[in-house]
Structures are given as C-alpha cells and as structure tokens.
Homo-oligomer: A and B are copies of this chain.
C-alpha cells in the first residue's frame, strides 16, 4: 500500500539536515510537496516546514486538505500559526480555522489580524503568567507539579499579573533559583516592567532591543493586560529578513522568487519591475533623441554618453546607501536634507573633479580635441554633483512620504541622473559645437 512508504520516508527525512531537507523538498512540484506533508505525522510535517522558505510553506499548506492542514497548524507555535493563516488566501485560511477547536481558531484569527511586522504580529502567546499574590515556595511547587509544561516552553521569563491579567512585574525564571522561598513574587520581581503596545512597528522594536538587553518584552493592550511576548529572536529574524529583502529589492527582485517556481510566474514577477524600468529608460533616452542633430555632428560623444550615465548612477547610489545606513542607525532624521546636502556637496564636488578630470583626459585623447575633453569631463563633474545631492536626499523624501526607500530609490535616481547626464553632455556640446567639429 501507499502508506507503507511513510516509515522509510520519515527516516530518510530524519537523516537529512535542515538545508538538505529544504533543497530536496523545494525541488518537488507543489502538489508533491503537499502529498509529502500529508503522509507525514503533523509533528514531522512541522519539522519539514521549519526548513522551507515562507512562500513555499504557504503554498504547500494551501494545497492540503483542510483537516490535514489544521492538524499541522495545531502543532505550530502561536506566532507561526498567525503568520501562516495570515499569509494563506482567505478561503483556504477559513477552511483550516473551521477544522480547529473554536477557542484555538479564535485566538489564531485574532493574532493573524495584526500586521506581520508589528509587535502583535511577532508576539507569541505562550507565556508563563504567575499571580502577584503567590510566594516563591508556592510558585516552585506549581512549576514542579506542571514541570512538563515549563519544559516545553522555551522561555526564560515569567510575567507577574494582577487580577484581570494586568501586568505588574517580570521575573527571570532563573532568579527563582537564588531567591528566599518565603518571599512573595512581588518582592523579587522587577516591578513596573517595560512593555509595549501591540501596534508597535518593527522599527521601534529593533530600536527597543538595541537599547535594552532583554530576551523578550511583554505586549499589552490599551488597559495594560498581558497579551503575549515579543522575543528578541523574532525581532532579529524580522530585521534580518527586512535587510536581505532590501538588498534583493534594490536589485529589482520584488517578490520571493525561487527557481523551483513555474517559469511563467517567475517571468511575470521579474517583468513587473522590468517593464517599469524600460519605461523610465525610454523617458531618459528621449533626451538623446532631442539632441540627435548635435550627436550626428559629434559622433564620438556617443561613446561617452553611457559612461557618464552609468558613473553618475553609481555615485548617486553610494549617497543613497550612506543615507539608508544613517537612517537605520538613527544618525539621520528625514528632515535633515540640508545637512545631507552640505556633506554630500563637498564629496560630490571633489569626486566630480577627479572623475570628470579622468574621463575628460580620455575623451580629449580619443577625439584628438581638448574641447571634447571639456564637454565630457564637465558633464560628468556636474552630473556627479547632481547625483550625490539627489541620492543623499531621495531616501529621506521617500521615508517622509511613507514609501519604502529600498524599493524606489535606485530607479528614481538613475532615471533623473541619466536624463541630467545626457542633457549636460549634449547641451554643452551644442554650445561648443563649432569647437568640436
């Protein structure tokens, strides 16, 4: 029978390390990934899902019958449950929730309603909450009695709550080790602990864990009631994911492409960005078209136009990268464009002189005409300055406008610097046309 294959399959997967499992499973078509998950126990399925990229997990679980998917979801930690249900298409998500116990489904749906990158979306609801009226002795007895539960929870803090689950203190579990057994929890806890509202965005969470060395921070609602805990680990992972996705998006890979996805889908993902880019390129090149007459008289200029546009793009992107870094380190505020201009202006002026000088010499030698060097070098010098001034402030402007700088900075910058570079070179050449021919 088909099911006889399950035992060796589970053994095989158990013998692979996480990366090998991910490689093997990602190679399978999506239906076979689902088939594999269906045949494993829910616990084993969770271990496999743990190794896969998020987009693959969502698609594979969507392919499963709702009852099988529900059994797997039941095994996940609360924050992963919410992420998965939130990322699934709504019909599939509803079907899975319908298969779960009412209280679990309700809890997951509540968590999934938070945006993924805020405290509510990152928090886990598995917490050890202790009543403020307890003593160390009764607490230790309670923990030892329910020892397995504590053993399963990989948490280092307990939270002390008053009536109505109102948060009043935090307790490092290991501090119970060195406490006098007769003390009340309220005597050894850290009173009035820092806590954050569920709406706190990722940026603020990163800043919070940067300034505090906690492993986790409790999340409370408007009335100060304990909702869950955001761990440093969850925030670090979200921050790392954001950083690498900034890098990918700066390259124009807008979605979570994997080569195991169908060709048409991958092609469409990439074209969505390329088609915007081709439009911007055509707009920029229209400047050349407007000066076709000048260009046909000074054809050597055609050799240098792509160099001027590419080099200015690079200089501008350096300024973009420094601004993005300073923004993320908190060293720069979106309003400080004047400071950026002063700082970038001096570097842009210097680098423009050096690069313009270099390329000008090459152009003069190539054309055997000093004026050609002046046109090409002058255009690159001007455009380098323009590019760093623009590049330095574009991330600030986008951030203020609420647009993600990592996504939009580079295409915006290169379009403008292309146009400006073509315009400087060709209008200078038109002005000095009698010296050039």
Contact = CB atoms under 8 A, between A and B. Distances in A.
A285 to B, nearest CB: 5
21 contacts: A17-B211, A18-B207, A53-B329, A174-B174, A244-B246, A244-B328, A251-B320, A257-B325, A258-B325, A259-B339, A264-B350, A270-B318, A274-B318, A275-B358, A281-B307, A281-B310, A284-B306, A285-B306, A302-B305, A305-B305, A310-B418
A339 B366 CA distance: 44
Contact of A251 (B150, B285, B288, B318): B318
Nearest to A298: B296
B257 A278 contact: no
Interface of A: 17-20, 22-23, 26, 51, 53, 140, 143-144, 147, 150-151, 154, 156, 173-178, 207, 210-211, 213, 215, 232-233, 236-237, 239-240, 243-244, 246-248, 250-253, 257-260, 263-264, 266-267, 270-271, 273-275, 277-278, 281-282, 284-286, 288-289, 292, 295-296, 299-300, 302-307, 309-311, 314-315, 317-318, 320-322, 325-326, 328-332, 339-340, 343-344, 346-347, 350-351, 354-355, 358-359, 362, 366, 406, 414, 418, 422
Most buried by B among A26, A251, A314: A251
Given A306-B285, A317-B251, A22 B173 contact: no
A306 B278 contact: no
- Oligomer: number of copies: 2
B173 A18 contact: no
Given A53-B329, A263-B347, A252 B317 contact: yes
B306 A177 contact: no
Most buried by B among A278, A286, A343, A406: A278
B284 A292 contact: no
Contact of A314 (B19, B247, B252, B302): B252
Given A347-B263, A347-B270, A19 B207 contact: yes
B258 A326 contact: yes
A222 to B, nearest CB: 24
